[in-house]
Amino acid sequence: MMKTNKINELFANRGDKKFLSLYFCAGCPTLEGTGDVIKTMQRRGIDFIEVGIPFSDPLADGPVIQSAATRALKNGMSVRLLFEQLKAIKDDVTLPLILMGYLNPIMHYGIEAFCQSCVEAGVSGMIIPDLPFKDYQDTVKPIADRYNLRVIMLITPETSEERIRFIDEHTDGFIYMVSSAAITGAQHSFDDAKQQYFRRINEMQLRNPRMIGFGISNRQTLKAAQDNAAGAIIGSKFVTLLNEANGDADKALDRLFEALNA
């Protein structure tokens, strides 16, 4: 039995609460803003945070997050610098931090070194959208388990039931349920096909809790996600607002909460 980490504790103690998780790209809009954004989110009641590692070729991301990654790289953000910034605020952060990044920069850093740095920086888990499941099982999971880190896997409307059950059996923490097979980006509402997909996954009665992400930007999409899972993950909408607020996370959160309640 793996010992728990902050992700497990959060979900184990949630009761009826519906979570809200936010994504932002480290190093955008400003290189030095990472720590302030995280601490502000924590103070404003966000449940857990996905910190994006910028990469030059982010395949699953829409234009908003792609452009944030480009800007962050231009600003000089790197995996090494991100870990330094997270280490500097480690003692102030009590909520789970999850790093979301593509395989290339993580492999370049070294899987073992990456996991070790995660622990030193107070990170609880990682999401690697382009990590093949076989590589996860054979290479990444054994190392992540040793460092008590959770590797969160994504499922989409196209993922087969067999594969979803396999992911549920071999992962721990939560399952990231992508609302559509398209790239990230805000949507106005979830159509019947998406609602049907949410219901289908609900009926599978999976062991792991699920969070729904991609396309959540208003009250309608937030409610649909929270009605069908443990909560919602918002990325593009918050990244846009953070850019518009020149990195002022308080201002961006004010505008986000306004949009989610409108």
Write out pLDDT tens, residues 179-226. Answer: 876 655 555 667 788 888 999 999 999 999 999 998 898 999 999 999
- Which token pair is 138? 């054979």
112, amino acid identity: E
4: pLDDT strictly greater than 90: no
Write out pLDDT tens, residues 95-112. Answer: 999 999 999 999 999 999
Number of CB atoms found within 10 A of residue 88's CB: 12
Write out pLDDT tens, residues 169-181. Answer: 999 999 999 987 6
Q: What is the pTM of this model?
A: 0.93
Least confident of 57-71, 222-236, 247-261: 57-71
Name which of 244, 240, 179 is nearest 215 in CA terms.
179
**Interatomic CA distance for residues 40 and 22, integer angstroms:** 12
When pLDDT is cut at 50, 70 and 90, the band that residue 1 belongs to is very low
Residues designated as active site: 50, 61
242, amino acid identity: L
Question: φ and ψ at 47, to 5 degrees?
Answer: -85, -40
